[in-house]
Amino acid sequence: MKQQAGDLLVGARQCPSPNHDERPPDSPVDLLVIHNISLPPEQFGGPWIDDFFLNRLEPNHHPYFCTICEQRVSSHLLIRRDGELVQYVPLNLRAWHAGKSEFQGRQDCNDYSIGIELEGTDNIPYTDAQYQTLVETTRKIMTLFPSITAERIAGHCDIAPDRKTDPGPIFDWQGYMKALAHQG
């Protein structure tokens, strides 16, 4: 698939991950999935998320890393605690963020979704800077992919409820959707 304008978001720090592939033919992008990640768990900052998505996570840096360093995963985007936007996978390609998943009866959400990771956990509030970047980024994505509407934004917990809980009960869905709907 040829890369086009909009596949890389202006203002995002580009950090290309090898963990992606082509989307299936005739698979329109029409879902946005919100996740969270912190490495090590419940710790923020540092290079570990980048290292994880780039397959260079060193298992000897933290005991938890031994359990995940062989996984090959990615997300399209990450929003750090300070609001920085990082892009790992062009939006036209399939990132490996959802795993076994289903949305409204349709399997394999990676095929037709864009994944955004928030640096955080299920039980620690996200920052105002993260919500601001998330709203701005969501608006850009919705412009590029008009099939993504507010009704087609889900948490990882919604598409893989037996396996995942993120972005967690602390995520302010109501505030996010209200800010997204506000034209300003």
Q: Which is catalytic among the residues 42, 117, 119, 151? A: 117
Contacts of 42 (CB under 8 A, 6+ apart): 121, 124
Whole-Å CA distances, 21 to 17, 36, 74, 133, 183: 10, 22, 11, 26, 35
Q: Say if CB 58 and CB 65 are below 8 A apart.
A: yes
Tokens, residue 153: 């934004």
Q: Beta strand pairing status for 77-79 and 85-87?
A: antiparallel
Is 119 in the active site? no
Backbone dihedral region of 165: left (phi > 0), alpha (psi from -120 to 50 degrees) or beta?
A: alpha
Q: What angle do CA 150, 15, 60 make, to 5 degrees?
A: 110
Which are the catalytic amino acids? 117
